[in-house]
Chains A and B, each alone.
Chain A
C-alpha cells in the first residue's frame, strides 16, 4: 500500500531535549516536505527536499533541521525544542514537486513541548 509513515504519532517532551520525527515513503517520490499545522494558521511549510541531498527552506524553518540521505526518508530534527514548536506536524511526498503533482500526506505527529 502506497503510504507516508511518520513516527511517533504523539510525543510529549521537555524544552531543550533533542528529538527526531521520522518520515518514510514507499512510492519512490523525489519530493518530500515537512509542514506544521496550527489553529487559524493552516499548514506552513518548514523544509522541503527536491531529491537526495537537496533541501531548501520553507516559510518557517527556524529551529528545525532536516536531512535527505536516502530517497525514502526525510527526518525532521529539533535540536533544542521550545514550547512554541508545540504543533501538529505533517510529512508529505510527491513524485517531483512540480506544479500539479499531488502531495501524499502522513497522518501527522502531535508534538507537545513543555
Chain B
C-alpha cells in the first residue's frame, strides 16, 4: 500500500505565526492536491500541483511540489484563526490507475 505521510500530525500556534506542513512519500505521483476539511463536512480542494518543482500561491498559502514528484509542502504565512482545520494532501497515482492516496492529515489550530 502506498503511503503519504504528513507532518506534523497536530499543530497549535498563535495568530500571526508562520507554519509549514509536509507531505512525503516513496511513491511518484502524477499530481498532488491539498484539501482542507472542517468538522462535519467533506474535504474542500485548495490547490492541485502537477509539475515537479511547481509552486502555487493562494493568498497567504504557498504550495510546492517536489522536483521528483514524491513530496509536497504547504506553507502558511501569518496564520489566522480562520485557517483552523484539518489539512489533507492527496496524490494521484501515475496515469492508468486513477487511484487517490490521501495523507494522514494535519490538524491545525490557530489561537487568537
Contact = CB atoms under 8 A, between A and B. Distances in A.
Nearest to A108: B42
A7 to B, nearest CB: 14
Contacts of B88: 42-43
Interface residues on B, range: 20 to 34
Interface in A41-78: 41-45, 48, 50, 56, 58-59
A107 B42 contact: yes
Interface of A: 4, 31, 33, 35, 40-45, 48, 50, 56, 58-59, 90, 92, 97-103, 105-108
18 contacts: A40-B9, A40-B104, A41-B104, A42-B4, A42-B88, A42-B104, A43-B88, A43-B90, A43-B102, A45-B101, A59-B1, A59-B2, A59-B101, A92-B42, A100-B48, A103-B100, A105-B41, A107-B40
Interface of B: 1-2, 4, 6, 9, 30-31, 33, 40-45, 48, 50, 88, 90, 92, 95, 98-105
